[in-house]
């Protein structure tokens, strides 16, 4: 992402929101189900995971479409739909397919005893299986639909908030080179040459005081940029 920005002929770029969204989705997908390939369709798909999420999240009618989706499977009805609705239906179908594939893959890996990195989906499946084992009531087990719902909430809840925060942070640092240098100095000291995949968040992040200071300042700037921000009334 940085290489693409730096390679711009005029030193400008207009895709920051999209790029930070992709970055956030890469991280969230890795945490959720060990998947960092979100920009290209996998075999059997016409859309990438990122495209399905962006399409589904871009409209407020997605929950409604989920309810009537079974009634729109007939080709005659689909031919009468606007192109935007057709795109939404395809995105919803492919997202469900992605989630089903991930659930099946994780269950097979857990059944075969493969050693895997703990991720959201594996944790949900494992917890669901434990509940089913410990309880005689079969209803205690999460269904695939419930698993998909939890994953979707996790993705939606983290994607936009993270990408927008990153966008504002990058803009803030871009207009304040002195703050950039101040933050980089701390990063060099804390991280040194030990940057690797095994770094512990709980050990490293508390030491990044300057990073946290920038984010606190950013929180104030974003709040001021929101028209008619909600007021806090003390009782």
pTM of the predicted model over 0.85: no
Q: What is the pLDDT of residue 184?
A: 92
In a domain, 71, yes or no: yes
Average pLDDT of span 127-154 = 65
DSSP annotation of 41: P
- Which range, 72-76, 120-124, 128-132, has the best average confidence (pLDDT)? 120-124
Q: The domain containing residue 211 runs over which residues?
A: 176-235
Instruction: Please give the Cα distance from 33 to 31 (Å, whole number).
Output: 6
Q: Which of 96, 124, 159 delimits the end of a domain?
A: 159
Q: How many domains does the chain have?
A: 2
Q: Are residues 124 and 201 in the same domain?
A: no
Whole-Å CA distances, 26 to 42, 98, 161 = 15, 15, 14
Q: Are residues 188 and 215 in the same domain?
A: yes
Q: What is the pLDDT of residue 183?
A: 92
Q: Are residues 72 and 146 in the same domain?
A: yes
Average pLDDT of span 75-81 = 70
Q: Is 29 in contact with 117 (CB distance < 8 Å)?
A: no
Burial class (CB in 10 A: 0-12, 13-18, 19+), 98: buried
Q: Are residues 20 and 57 in the same domain?
A: yes
Q: Which of 130, 159, 188 delimits the end of a domain?
A: 159
In a domain, 143, yes or no: yes
- Which range, 62-66, 75-79, 107-111, 207-211, has the best average confidence (pLDDT)? 207-211
Containing 130, the helix (H) or strand (E) segment is: helix 120-134
In a domain, 166, yes or no: no
């Amino acid at each position: 992402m940085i290489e693409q920005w730096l390679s711009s002929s005029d030193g400008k770029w207009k895709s920051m929101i999209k790029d930070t969204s992709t970055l956030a989705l890469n991280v969230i997908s890795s945490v959720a189900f060990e998947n960092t390939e979100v920009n290209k369709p996998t075999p059997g798909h016409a859309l990438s995971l990122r495209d399905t999420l962006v399409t589904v999240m871009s409209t407020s009618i997605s929950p409604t479409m989920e309810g009537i989706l079974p009634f729109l499977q007939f080709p005659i009805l689909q031919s009468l739909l606007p192109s935007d609705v057709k795109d939404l239906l395809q995105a919803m179908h492919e997202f469900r397919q992605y989630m089903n594939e991930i659930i099946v893959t994780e269950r097979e890996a857990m059944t075969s005893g493969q050693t895997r990195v703990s991720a959201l989906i594996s944790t949900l499946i494992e917890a669901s299986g434990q509940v089913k084992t410990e309880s005689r009531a079969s209803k205690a087990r999460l269904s695939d639909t419930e698993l998909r719902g939890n994953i979707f909430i996790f993705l939606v809840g983290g994607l936009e908030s993270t990408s927008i925060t990153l966008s504002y942070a990058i803009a803030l640092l871009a207009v304040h080179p002195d703050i950039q240098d101040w933050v980089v100095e701390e990063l060099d000291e804390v991280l040194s040459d030990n940057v690797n995949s095994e770094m512990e968040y709980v050990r490293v992040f508390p030491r990044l005081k300057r990073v946290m200071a920038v984010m606190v300042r950013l929180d104030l700037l974003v709040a001021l940029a929101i028209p008619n921000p909600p007021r806090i009334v003390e009782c």
